[in-house]
Structure 1
Amino acid sequence: MTSAGSPKPSRFPKRLFLWIPLAGVAAAVGYWLQIKADDAQGQIDWWILDVSTKGLLAGIGAGLTFLSVVGLALVAAYETAAAERVRAAITAQQQRQLELSQAVLRPLVDAVNSATHLRANSPQRRHLPGETRTAVLAVLCKLATGAAEPVARYYELTRDGGGKRVLQPVKCWGGDAGHVLKEGDPIAAPAFDALDKSEAKYWVAGDPEAPTTGWSEANIIVPVAGSRPYGVLTVESSDTDAFLLQDVNTAALIGQLYAATLGALPPGS
């Protein structure tokens, strides 16, 4: 499994690092030519060029010195602007993560508050788990970028007649219902691995450890586990560039919030 990409500010601007010695050499050569020009004699008369050797060397030396300083300033300005763009992108990602976390937190808190005030057998109380799942999956789909429509699902952990663990698709947003994931099946390995290790999984098609079938081009799986394991949340996209590292972290946070909500809902909700 791999980690999603994310813009990172470089520790030291590469172009500036390369230009500093080059500018130093150019300035040194320019200074040396200007010194040599003082002792130069003769006249250069070639094609349209009619100038003294002293003047030519002095001009070339001054030009090299000027270009080294101007070039260094331009590269420094470019690197500064590039760093600002990266910082702005990171800030935008952090703001987006905060907004999405708030978007999913509100309905989850409302569900817990409602469950404590509604009658045990009331229809509204019975609908709370479904409403919270819908809110969670809708926010997960907002993580994906690009033209491709993402698909989010919630798989609930159960057991089959033989006692084997099964992840049963309970709710879907944006696509088909999904397949039952049975423990031991290759297609189910990433989901159970995320659940057992309590960590988010991310991969794109073609990664060395990626499942060969059954998943989309880009996939995130996060466990939903609190006092006990409840299941997993998944979000998929046919666009390999749909997710960034920050999106994986946000999805993991959403999984934790949803698990806390399931644990806080009174029995019978």
Structure 2
Amino acid sequence: MILWGLAAAAAAYAWSLQVDYADVPAGSTDWWIFSGSTRTIMRRVGICCTVIMILIPASLAGLATIRARRARQRETAQIAQRVRTINSVIAPLAAHLQRLAHLDPGETLPRERLAGEAVKATLAGLFDLHGGWSSQVRVCFFRVEGEAPDRRLVPENHHGRGKKSTCTVYEGDGGRGTEAFRALDARQARSWQDGNGEAEPSGWSRDKEYKSFLAVYVATETVLFGMITMDAIDPEAFHPKVDLPTVQTVADLYAAILAGLSAPKDHPDLSGATFEQ
């Protein structure tokens, strides 16, 4: 940009000198013959045209430089996000899966300990991935209890803003519970943001503190373990096209751990008792 500016200034100055000091009859230029006032006007018009001819390509080059810099910044941010995803969530859950692979099926207490550590790692990892304490995000895990058509989602753990949810969601309640289990059974993730033009979800009121949320299923093909939700005060805290697939992948890893922790109820543990997930 500096070189383009110098070139424009030099061209304009050269044009001015050519008009003022060229060896031509008084009141004339190399191309036209004008009276004194007209000559001055044309000199200024020529200077402006020369500057414009130089500045237009210079501006285009500057815009291209800005776009390239922004593209590099986006690429850097995307790489940083991938690193955070691996370090905050995937790596801890992979470590839990490795530990699970080395546990004897009958070791009840280590399995229970691993289950507690896994859910904490999952929720804390998702919380850190979305900005930590500065983001005002809350992550919750709801466990499915009971059998269809009388199942319920019971809040079990949370990490982040405020307190753990105390609201149990019931299947077939005609509102929030019905919608939640419909999505869970269909293995569908859901998201919502206040002010984006979408209809308000069942059971939501404008008195609620949070203005955006994500909900993903924690399940295998045959077993539904529960649901992970994320909510935030900021309506634009989440980017569904990016965050939903990421959070769902994490939930799938957690579901794999829960599936591995499950065991036949008649399998004896090391003390001779029986257990089941």
What is aligned with 2:190?
201
What is aligned with 1:124?
110
Which deviates more from structure 2 when the two are superposed, residues 64-73 or residues 143-152? 143-152
What is aligned with 1:151?
138
What is aligned with 1:76?
64
Match of 1:263, as an amino acid?
A: A
Tell me the number of residue pairs that the alignment of Structure 1 and Structure 2 aligns: 226
Hey, what's the Cα distance between the residues in 2 that align with 1:55 and 1:173? 72
Structure (1 or 2) with the larger CA radius of gyration: 2
Higher relative contact order (CA 8 A, sep 6+): 1
Instruction: Say whether 1:252 aligns with 2:244.
Output: no
Hey, what's the Cα distance between the residues in 2 that align with 1:216 and 1:114? 41
Instruction: Say whether 1:217 aligns with 2:207.
Output: no
Contact 1:151 1:235 in 2 (8 A): yes
**Where in structure 2 are the equivalents of 1:220-239 lying within 5 Å?**
220-226=214-220, 227-239=222-234
Structure 1's 94 and 125: CA in aligned 2 closer, same or farther, altered over 3 A? closer
Please give the root-mean-square deviation of Cα atoms over the aligned residues, in Å. 2.9
Q: CA deviation at 1:266?
A: 4.5
Match of 2:37, as an amino acid?
A: D
What is aligned with 2:23?
none
Hey, what's the Cα distance between the residues in 1 that align with 2:190 and 2:210? 14
Q: CA deviation at 1:251?
A: 0.9
Match of 2:236 among 234, 241, 256: 241
Per the normalisation by structure 1, the TM-score is 0.71
Q: CA deviation at 1:53?
A: 6.0
Structure 2 residues not aligned, in runs of 5+: 1-28, 264-274
Q: CA deviation at 1:77?
A: 1.7
Hey, what's the Cα distance between the residues in 2 that align with 1:194 and 1:234? 13
1:197-241 CA-to-partner distances (Å, cap 9, x unmatched) read 212211122342332336821211110111311111112222223
What is aligned with 1:172?
158
What is aligned with 1:89?
77
Hey, what's the Cα distance between the residues in 2 that align with 1:241 and 1:260? 30
Structure 1 residues not aligned, in runs of 5+: 1-36
Contact 2:212 2:233 in 1 (8 A): yes
What is aligned with 2:257?
261
Structure 1's 151 and 114: CA in aligned 2 closer, same or farther, altered over 3 A? farther
Contact 1:152 1:172 in 2 (8 A): yes
Q: Secondary structure of the equivalent of 2:104? A: helix
